[in-house]
Amino acid sequence: MSDLARFSVNQMTVKQLPLPDLVAACRDLGVPGVGLWREPVQEYGVEAAAKLVRDAGLTVTTLCRGGFLTATDPAGRARALDDNRRAVGEAATLGTDVLVLVSGGLPAGSRDLPGARERVADALAELGPYAEAHGVKLAVEPLHPMFAADRCVVSTLAQALDLAERFPARQVGVTVDTYHVWWDEDAPAQIARAGAGGRIHTFQLADWVTPLPAGVLNGRGQLGDGSVDLRRWRELVEAAGYTGPIEVELFNDALWARDGREVLAETVERFTRHAV
Amino acid sequence: MSDLARFSVNQMTVKQLPLPDLVAACRDLGVPGVGLWREPVQEYGVEAAAKLVRDAGLTVTTLCRGGFLTATDPAGRARALDDNRRAVGEAATLGTDVLVLVSGGLPAGSRDLPGARERVADALAELGPYAEAHGVKLAVEPLHPMFAADRCVVSTLAQALDLAERFPARQVGVTVDTYHVWWDEDAPAQIARAGAGGRIHTFQLADWVTPLPAGVLNGRGQLGDGSVDLRRWRELVEAAGYTGPIEVELFNDALWARDGREVLAETVERFTRHAV
């Protein structure tokens, strides 16, 4: 098996590449998988995007992302559920069985993290069966605790699994992303728990580099540039039974400012050096 | 008992105020306690600072901060231990029995968080008895996980207590700072554990506001401006038996740009409104 057999590039890593250019670059570099994002796929057209990647022989490893399920007002809540049902449909059209979910942050003025997490659980109860009916699994992604207020009230794998385990694994599992969990000494045990339950629905890589940029969203480091022992995390998910795609997802202003093909080639090389 | 009887202002909150101005402002506003920082105290002179605050009838609630104990090279390690022994001496001179410790981050190029944490434990074994002999307790402060790489490899109260409990509580306890623990659903249980062991050596308040600034260090929010239910955390430490000072520690460029007395008056008002 080639070193790249399980490699997937998340579309955001090289968001400067239009979708056809990304597909061509993957073909040229021997990249077999892509994780797609809803907004650029919608711009291109979901059916057209599905045909483009299918014709190129690419596997769509995930669709990012659904979620944002913490609204308290009925209208906001209904809109979020509708949008997530659309995301499930898009995932099915694209031929991936994994929809990554980012829970959402605290509603404006709220300080109630447990309440927000409970609303995520309520939403999963509605979305899980819908996703299953469309052949899609929901992958709840814990984000780093620095996002707890404004983006994701689920901060650890333990919390994500506490949510997921209320539902069948074929409906709800988790995303393991090194950037979000690397600091957590409980994460290895939670990976084992997730693997035992068949709930590792996707595994994503990014490195942790400092100083963090303002807003902290676009500071995900190129593999090998930071503090994360990427190979160790890969070994942990594999020891837990995960044999699926390994998706590299970087949000990084410096990488976005460069030539996208060059960044993808670099990412492939870094993956081979630091994660295989 | 006045609402301010347990209030303390950390010197960094109004670092624009020279020490004599801070002391005068505390007197004018009825603030009974201050948490001091080593660098401005050293500039003023430790003995002189001790006399200044003592003559004003102020209680020094903590000295911030020792720590940075993760070096691997023997020379760096010896320097850190020497510096921490000096910090213990300074705390004793200032008349406080609490020295806050920030563990330090990963050494350059290292990806070994558990190894770094173990070096912190080794250092505590040397510093704990020294501190006790000088009437000072070490308060290991878990910092938010966003600081795990570059500032503090101890990211949760559970980790801080795992370290502290290797030693007598009169030598080593923890700092509970709302800014660092507010996201952690395990923190309430850990506060109970810390209180039962007599290991809450200081309690600090700051609010969590977004977006975080570049570098994320100086984004600690004024009380009431953010996502932290400050009163709930105060009730948690009190339910755990803590009856000591409550120190407000803000690092915030916008607050530092304003008149220091005005910021201190605002902080007193916010404390009374949101934390009492």
Quote ipTM for the complex: 0.96
Nearest CA in chain A to B208: A149
In this prediction, residue A14 carries a pLDDT of 98
- pLDDT tens for residues B36-79? 999 999 999 999 999 999 999 999 999 999 999 999 999 999 99
Asked if the model's pLDDT at residue A140 lies above 80, the reply is: yes
Region B174-199 average pLDDT: 98
Which residues of chain B have a CB within 8 Å of the CB of A144?
145-146
Query: CA-based diameter of chain A, in Å?
Result: 52
Nearest CA in chain A to B153: A183
Query: Would you tell me which CATH number, out of the four given (3.20.20.150, 1.20.120.80, 3.40.50.300, 3.30.70.890), belongs to the domain B7-274?
Result: 3.20.20.150
Which residues of chain A have a CB within 8 Å of the CB of B113?
183, 185
> What percentage of chain A has pLDDT greater than the value 70?
100
Nearest CA in chain A to B113: A183
Which residues of chain A have a CB within 8 Å of the CB of B106?
227
> Would you call B208 and A114 a contact, using CB atoms and an 8 Å cutoff?
no
Query: What rounded mean pLDDT belongs to chain A?
Result: 97
DSSP reduced 3-state for B102: strand
**How many residues are recorded in chain B?**
276
> What percentage of chain B has pLDDT greater than the value 90?
99
Joined together, the tokens standing for residue A152 give 């994701």
Q: For B260, which DSSP code?
A: H
- Whether residue B129 is preceded by a cis peptide bond, meaning omega within 30 degrees of 0, is no
Region A31-58 average pLDDT: 98
Nearest CA in chain B to A229: B111
- pLDDT tens for residues A101-138? 999 999 999 999 999 999 999 999 999 999 999 999 99
Region A173-186 average pLDDT: 98
Beta-strand relationship, A220-221 and B33-37: unpaired
Asked if the model's pLDDT at residue B230 lies above 60, the reply is: yes
Among B183, B117, B110, B174, smallest CA distance to B144 is for B183
Asked if the model's pLDDT at residue A244 lies above 80, the reply is: yes
Among candidates B114, B184, B214 on the partner chain, residue whose Cβ is nearest the Cβ of A214: B214
Q: How far is B108 from chain A (nearest CA, A)?
A: 9
- Cα–Cα dist A40/A19, whole Å: 8
Asked if the model's pLDDT at residue A148 lies above 90, the reply is: yes
Query: What rounded mean pLDDT belongs to chain B?
Result: 97
Q: How far is A213 from chain B (nearest CA, A)?
A: 4
In this prediction, residue B1 carries a pLDDT of 52
Asked if the model's pLDDT at residue A1 lies above 80, the reply is: no
Burial class (CB in 10 A: 0-12, 13-18, 19+), B196: exposed
Beta-strand relationship, B220-221 and B137-140: unpaired
Joined together, the tokens standing for residue A9 give 């590039």
Burial class (CB in 10 A: 0-12, 13-18, 19+), B232: middle
Helix (H) or strand (E) holding A264: helix A260-274
- Cα–Cα dist B32/B245, whole Å: 9
Segments making up each domain of chain A, as ranges: 7-274
In this prediction, residue A151 carries a pLDDT of 98
**Which of the two residues, B216 and A1, has the higher pLDDT score?**
B216
- Cα–Cα dist B247/B249, whole Å: 6
> Would you call B214 and A210 a contact, using CB atoms and an 8 Å cutoff?
no
Which residues of chain B have a CB within 8 Å of the CB of A148?
182-183, 208, 227
Q: If interface means Cβ-Cβ distance under 8 Å, which residues of chain B face chain A?
A: 106, 110-114, 144-146, 148-150, 155, 159, 182-185, 208, 210-216, 226-229
Which residues of chain A have a CB within 8 Å of the CB of B212?
146, 212, 214-216
> Would you call A212 and B212 a contact, using CB atoms and an 8 Å cutoff?
yes
In this prediction, residue B3 carries a pLDDT of 87
* Cross-strand pairs, A33: A8, A59
> Would you call A144 and B145 a contact, using CB atoms and an 8 Å cutoff?
yes
Give the pTM. Answer: 0.97
Neighbours of A82 (CB within 10 A): 10
Nearest CA in chain A to B225: A109
In this prediction, residue A2 carries a pLDDT of 76
- Cα–Cα dist B79/B77, whole Å: 5
Phi, psi of B253 (to 5 degrees): -55, -40
In this prediction, residue A135 carries a pLDDT of 98
> Would you call B215 and A211 a contact, using CB atoms and an 8 Å cutoff?
yes
Nearest CA in chain B to A228: B111
> Would you call B227 and A145 a contact, using CB atoms and an 8 Å cutoff?
no
- pLDDT tens for residues A213-239? 999 999 999 999 999 999 999 999 999
